[in-house]
Amino acid sequence: MSGRVQLFCLGLIIVLLIICGVIAWQTTADTRPSNVSGTLLQVFLYHVSWLMFLFLPLVIWGFKHKQVSLGFTIVGVLGLILGIYARFVEPNLLIVKESHIKTGYKLKIALISDMHYGLYSTTGQMQRLVNKLNSLEVDAIVVAGDWTYEPPKKFSLIQQLAPFKQLQHPVYSVIGNHDEQMPGPDITQELEVALIANGVRPIEGQSIDLGKVRLAGIADLLPANTRHERLQALKIQDKPLLLLTHNPDSLHKLPKLTQPFVMLAGHTHGGQVNLPILTQKILSLVTKGHYKRGLYVLPQNNQIFVTSGIGMVGLPLRFAMPPTIDVLQFK
């Protein structure tokens, strides 16, 4: 009997893997991939992860029928539970975290970043984010880039980002590296049109007056990106500055500023999978400033705040770093 069950389970798994492969191939064909093989693998893993719900009872069944050891069962069950949480539970959380930043002026904003609408996101998640933002009492919403992650081709970006038209606060944004799709097709121009159509104001290379502070948008840092040299937004230094950018390492490209500033950034995802020691070591290799998330104090009383973002890239997992809206109270 056990042999027949094992053969049936093996056959079922093979069939399900084939189905996941077909779905991944079709999904990849319907997206705007920056790398076809990479996208295919990611989408395949995204759908294969559903098999964890099958493997969990199989491991328990194997232990009950003395097919696997107690040690294997404990490790397998714990690993699968953690995997299910990181894949299906935490990415669907949405927390609001309030931080107080000493600046000498009063302002309250919501900072979000790295929504990555595309491979791993749903319209429902987008709508939930908009609803949550509308429930907040803030002066403005600022978005530190990476709106997309290989979005589908069958809908325009204007259609895909339509829920953001419902936002009831002023919204300002810059562009992130995934919005430029390198080495794939650059969708920056289409995205900026979509943002404007849905009530979001792109401010890269511009500055706007927010009362006692000036908000300036700075382009993302990329190896082939020369737009970070466009710093016209910083020419007016009559007030303290809020610098909105995607990559916190943009800090190292700033010219000398006479006014105090707070830089707002994303990009790091807080590591996305937040493991003790290991995540910080990895981030220290890929960022000059070793930034993870939260507030960092800089020389001359300047500061930088890095948000851990909303979405996912690479593996469709978040662990100990849930999607977060950062509400920043300047005072």
- pLDDT over 80 at 20, yes or no: yes
What is the domain range of residue 108?
94-330
Same structural domain, 65 and 98: no
- pLDDT over 90 at 184, yes or no: no
Give me the pLDDT at residue 67, please: 85
Same structural domain, 198 and 300: yes
- pLDDT over 80 at 168, yes or no: yes
d(CA 209, CA 195): 20
> Please, which residues have CB within 8 angstroms of residue 309's CB and are 6 or more apart in sequence?
112, 113, 114, 115, 116, 146, 266, 267, 268, 269, 270, 323, 324
The fraction of the chain above a pLDDT of 90, given in percent, is: 65
Same structural domain, 259 and 125: yes
Residue that has been written with the tokens 């989408």 in this structure:
43
Q: Across-strand partners of 325?
A: 96
Give me the pLDDT at residue 301, please: 87
Same structural domain, 58 and 105: no
pLDDT: is 94 or 281 the higher one? 94
pLDDT: is 224 or 36 the higher one? 36
Are 148 and 140 in contact by the 8 Å Cβ rule? The answer is no
- pLDDT over 60 at 228, yes or no: no
Q: Across-strand partners of 149?
A: 118
d(CA 305, CA 283): 16
- Look at 26-35, 47-56, 121-130, 193-202 and tell me which has the smallest mean pLDDT: 26-35
pLDDT band for 182, please (50, 70, 90 cuts): low
d(CA 62, CA 75): 13
Same structural domain, 72 and 101: no
SS3 of residue 279 by DSSP: helix
- pLDDT over 50 at 318, yes or no: yes
Same structural domain, 71 and 104: no
Residue 281 structure tokens: 């070591």
Same structural domain, 199 and 322: yes
CATH value at residue 241: 3.60.21.10
- pLDDT over 90 at 36, yes or no: no
Quote the pTM value. 0.93
Amino acid at 207: S
Give me the pLDDT at residue 254, please: 87
SS3 of residue 325 by DSSP: strand
Same structural domain, 233 and 214: yes
- pLDDT over 90 at 45, yes or no: yes
Each residue's pLDDT tens digit, 113-165? 999 999 898 888 999 999 999 999 999 999 999 999 989 888 899 999 999 99
Same structural domain, 246 and 99: yes
Give me the pLDDT at residue 329, please: 98
Q: How many domains does the chain have?
A: 2
Same structural domain, 103 and 67: no
- pLDDT over 70 at 183, yes or no: no
Give me the pLDDT at residue 1, please: 45
Distance from CA of residue 83 to its chain's centroid?
A: 19
